[in-house]
Amino acid sequence: MASHRKLRAAAVVCVVAVAAGPAPAAARSVADAPAAAVPSAVAPSPDPFTGLTADEIADRAVTATRSATSLRMAGRVVTDGQPLDIDFAVNDKDECTGLMKIKGGTAELRRIDRITYMKGDEAFWRVSMASQGMPEPQIDAAVELVKGRWLKIAPGQPGASDLGGVCDLKSLLSDLDKDEAERRGLTRGPDAEVDGTPVATLVKKRTGGETTTVSVSREGKPYILKMVKAGGEEPGTMVLSDYDKPVEVVVPPADETVDLSKLDAGTPA
């Protein structure tokens, strides 16, 4: 489906944005994820980053976040002009579970043992298939086949690599160091709080009015807790939480799944 690439792009954006500098809060449902909230100011407290520049704090945040064995990402990003809401829990075993919403459609995604399961409502499948240029009769037939069922996608099948990329925590986090120069030139804003956790805020402003803000935990490991990208062509907000917590993925019952190979040969997935 067309949403496959957009889903991967959304997941990557939430991490790559750190290179420029946004910020996470605690996990909320995708419907409740803020568009570009600014953390509220809090009273001063002992600063674990005393003596460090904003760039040095960012280095520590990237190192800590890349060490995570699991996390949850929730929020909204814009990819190719299309808003996409996501809420995923991912671990370092290429497993994940979560939801995505696009153009009024909703889909649930699960991945375990290298198998991806996807269950969307009718609006989601129709939007996805139509964006691939499928004729209406073929869309009607495909929607009828997957209605109320999980689409099972095995390794090597169309869409498997794109969807698998969303659940590849190591790959997603490696993008934090993809372009180190991008996270240089940060400034430290007022200390704040994200879902009750004190944070240091790092800000980077670009020409054209684009601003990226990253919130870094001041308690425990300096994990990135929230990222906000305002202005520009791909604004968004992503909340990162549930670091190093177990990710439980439930395999859908066999009688509620349909193998991708059962779709008509011309049906993209």
| CATH class of segment(s) 3-260 | mainly beta
Q: Which of 228, 239, 199, 192 is nearest to 57 (CA)?
A: 199
Res 269: pLDDT = 38
Q: What is the pLDDT of residue 55?
A: 94
Contacts of 138 (CB under 8 A, 6+ apart): 129, 264, 266, 267
Instruction: Give the distance between the most distant pair of CA atoms in the chain.
Output: 65
Region 39-68 average pLDDT = 84
Q: By the 8 A CB rule, do 149 and 259 touch? A: no
Alpha-carbon torsion, ordered 10, 14, 18, 24, to 10 deg: 160
* pLDDT category of residue 265 using cuts at 50, 70 and 90: very low
Dihedral in degrees, nearest 10, Cα atoms 14, 55, 244, 235: -10
pTM for the full predicted model: 0.77
What's residue 260's pLDDT?
82
Q: Evaluate whether 152 touches 119 at the Cβ level (below 8 Å).
A: no
Give the rounded percent of residues in the chain with a pLDDT score beyond 90: 51
8 Å CB contact between 27 and 87: yes
Q: Is the pLDDT of residue 5 over 70?
A: no
pLDDT, mean of residues 140-148? 90
Residue ranges per domain, the chain? 3-260
pLDDT digits (tens, 9 = 90+) for 96-139: 999 999 888 999 999 999 999 999 999 999 988 887 788 998 88
Q: Rounded to whole angstroms, how far apart are CA atoms 41 and 47? A: 15
pLDDT in tens, 70-96: 999 999 988 778 888 999 999 999 999
